[in-house]
Amino acid sequence: MRRVKFLLQIFLALMLLAVPTQAAESTWQPEIRIGILSSAQSVELEISASGVIVDGADAKKILGKIAAGEKISFDAGKIEAEAIEIRGEKVALKDLQVTINGKKYFGGVRLAKTGNALTVVNLVPIEEYLRGVVPNEMSIAFHAEALKAQAVAARTFALKNRGRHKAEGYDLCATNHCQLYNGVEEVAATDKAISETRGEVIVLSNEKLVDANFHTDSGGMTENIFDVWKTKASHLVPVAELETKTQPWTKEFPAQSFAERIGGGLGELKFISLSKLEIGKAASDRTSSGRAKTVTIVGSEKTVQVSGIDLRTKFSLPSTLFDVEFKEDKVIFTGYGRGHGVGMSQYGAQAYAKSGWDYKKILAHYYTGTGLKKLY
C-alpha cells in the first residue's frame, strides 16, 4: 500500500513537472503602437470583450469600463487625461479586437490629446499586427516558404523601426511609409507563415537586428543599398537571382514632352547616352548590379546628366534596370523588375521557394552574412 502511495506521489510530481514544460511555449510577445488617425475631433469605438478605460500615463488608474459591443464616441474636448487607453478587462490584447470608426483592429486603443484633437493609436501585439501586414505586402498566393520569408522580414522591420514615429506618439504608421497595415485580416496562408516563424528575426553576427528592406522584383540582381540611399550596410549588397530579365517592361515618351519634363533649358532633344545593360556588370554610368547610374541627355541648348533614380521618379519607371534609346521622335525605356532592388526580391523569393529553398535559405541569400534569432 505504502509503495502504491509512493508511486502515486512520483506520478503526481511528474505530472506537475510536465505542466509547466507545456506552458513554457512562450505566450509573451512585444506590444507595438500603430498610428491610425491624427487630428481627430472625435472617434467612435467598440470592443469585442468587456474592457477597461485606464489613464494613459498610469495603467493602474481605472477611469471607467466599457461593455462588449457597446459603441462609445469619444470627443477630444471631453477627455480630461492627457491620454487614455482601452484594454480588455479579462482578456489579453491578443484576444481583443477594437473597432475604430467602423474598422476592426486587433488589440486595444490609445487616445492621446494633441492640442484640441486626438491621435488614435492601435495597441497591438506584434504577431497580430503582422497578420494585418503580410497579406498587404506580398501576394497571398505565393509559396509558403516565400510567405514565411516575408513574415520574418516584416517582423524584423517592425522591431528594428520601433519608435520611428515617437514624436507623434506611436511606433509605426499604418501606411507604406512604414508597412501597410490594414487592421484585422484573417488569411489562412499568411497567418500560418506568421505563426510558424513566431518571434524570429534577422540578425547580424553580433545579434543586432538588420534593416530588412525588400522590393517586388529585382529583375535579375539586387542592388547595393549605397547606390540607392548613400548609406552602407554589409548585408544589403548585390546578389544574383535564380531567374534574370523577369517582368520586362517598356515605357515610351514623345521626345518633346520628355525634354520638357527634363527641363533646365535643355532645348530640343538631340541624343541620349547610356551604356548597354548587362545584368551584374558595372560601367562608368551603371552600378555594380547593372542599374542606370547616370544618363547623359544632350539637348540643342544644353547637356545634362540625370541619375537613373531621378529618371525613375520623374517618369514613373518600374525600376532603374533599363536601357534607353531615342529614335523616331520617341524616347523608349526597356527594363526589367519592379522596385528599388535593395534587399529581398519578393518574386525572387517566390522563385527560390518553388525551386525547393526554405525561408531560412532565402533570407540568408538576400541578406548577406545574416542569420535568424528567435526572440520569443
Residues that bind Zn ion (CB under 5 A): 173, 177-178
Nearer to Zn ion, 112 or 178 (CB): 178
Rank residues 61 and 177 by Cβ distance to Zn ion and give the closer one.
177
Measured CA distances, 306 to 219, 292, 313 (Å): 22, 10, 11
Comparison of 166 and 302: residue with beta carbon closer to Zn ion: 166
User: Could you tell me the smallest distance in angstroms from the CB atom of residue 137 to Zn ion?
Assistant: 14
CB of 121 to Zn ion, least distance (A): 13
b/e map of 264-299 (b: 16 or more CB within 10 Å)?
Answer: eebeebeebebbebebeebeeebbbbbbbbbbebbb
CB atoms within 10 A of CB 91: 17
- Minimum distance from CB of 175 to Zn ion (Å)? 6
Nearer to Zn ion, 165 or 365 (CB): 165
* CB distance 321 to 344 below 8 Å: no
DSSP string, 229-241: HS---TTSS--B-
Give me the least distance between CB of 238 and Zn ion, in Å please.
27
Closest to Zn ion by CB, 130 vs 178, is 178
Q: For residue 200, give every residue at least 6 positions away whose Cβ sits within 8 Å of its Cβ, in sequence order, or none.
A: 152, 155, 372, 373, 374, 375
CB 275 to Zn ion: min, Å: 37
Q: Do 321 and 290 touch, CB atoms closer than 8 A? A: yes
Least spacing, CB of residue 31 vs Zn ion, in Å: 18
The nearer residue to Zn ion, 54 or 130, going by C-beta atoms, is 130
User: From the CB of 174, what's the least distance to Zn ion, in Å?
Assistant: 8
**Residue 145, Cβ neighbours under 10 Å: how many?**
22
Q: How far is CA 278 from the centre of its chain?
A: 30
Closest to 111 measured CA to CA, from 166, 37, 183: 37
Angle between helices 346-354 and 359-366 (to 10 degrees): 140
Helical spans, DSSP H, in the chain:
2-23, 126-131, 134-137, 144-160, 188-196, 226-229, 255-262, 308-314, 346-354, 359-366
DSSP 165-196: TGGGTSSEESSTTS----S----HHHHHHHHH
| Cell 521626345 -> residue | 255
Q: Are 96 and 106 in contact (CB under 8 A)?
A: yes
CB of 195 vs Zn ion, minimal distance in Å: 26
Please state, in angstroms and rounded to a whole number, the distance separating the CA atoms of residues 2 and 4: 5
Smallest distance, Zn ion to C-beta of residue 272, A: 36
Of the pair 35, 343, the CB lying nearest Zn ion is at 35
CB 54 within 8 A of CB 61: yes
Q: How far is CA 8 from CA 2, 14, 19, 22, in A?
A: 10, 10, 17, 21
**178 vs 321, beta carbon nearer Zn ion:** 178
Nearer to Zn ion, 31 or 243 (CB): 31
CB of 171 vs Zn ion, minimal distance in Å? 9
Indicate the residue among 155 and 293 with the shorter CB distance to Zn ion: 155
